[in-house]
Chain A
Amino acid sequence: MIEIEVFDEGVIGELLIKEGTKVPVGTVMAMIKTDGEVAETKKETTPEKIMPKTQPKEEKIIKKPVEEKFEERHIKASPLAKKIAAQNNIDLSQIQGTGENGAITKEDVDNAIVQKEKITKPQEKTPVQLEAIRLAVAAAVSKSNKEIPHYYLEKKIDMTKALAWLREANSKRPIQKRLLPAALIIKATAKSLTDFPNLNAIWDNGLQLKEEINIGFVVSLRGGGVIVPAIRNASLKSVDEIMEALNDIIPRARAMKLRSSDLTDTTISITSLGEGGADIVFGVIYPPQVAIVGFGGSSQQAFVENGMLGIRPIFTATLAGDHRATDGLTGSDFLSSLNNNLQNPDLL
Chain B
Amino acid sequence: MNEQEIKNIVFQLLKQIAPDTEPETLQPDENIRATLDIDSFDTLQFLVSLNEKMKIEIPEEDYGKITTLKTLVDYILEKIK
A residues sitting closer than 8 Å to B (CB atoms) are 121-125, 167, 170-171, 175-176, 178, 180-182, 220, 222-223, 246, 250-251, 274-276
Contact = CB atoms under 8 A, between A and B. Distances in A.
B76 interface: no
Nearest first, the 5 closest Cβ-Cβ pairs linking A and B are A124-B19, A170-B60, A175-B51, A274-B39, A274-B40
Contacts of B19: 121-124, 222
B44 A180 contact: yes
Interface of B: 15-16, 18-21, 34, 37, 39-41, 44-45, 47-48, 51, 57-61
Given A182-B41, A246-B41, A250-B41, A222 B47 contact: no
A224 B61 CA distance: 32
Contacts of A167: 60-61
A180 B41 contact: yes
B41 to A, nearest CB: 5
B48 A176 contact: yes
B80 to A, nearest CB: 16
B47 A121 contact: no
A175 B47 contact: yes
Contacts of A223: 20
7 contacts: A122-B16, A171-B60, A178-B44, A178-B60, A180-B44, A182-B40, A251-B45
B40 A275 contact: yes
A76 B19 CA distance: 34
A222 B36 CA distance: 10
Contacts of A250: 41
B41 A175 contact: no
Contacts of A124: 19-20
Nearest to B59: A171
Contacts of B16: 121-122
B40 to A, nearest CB: 5
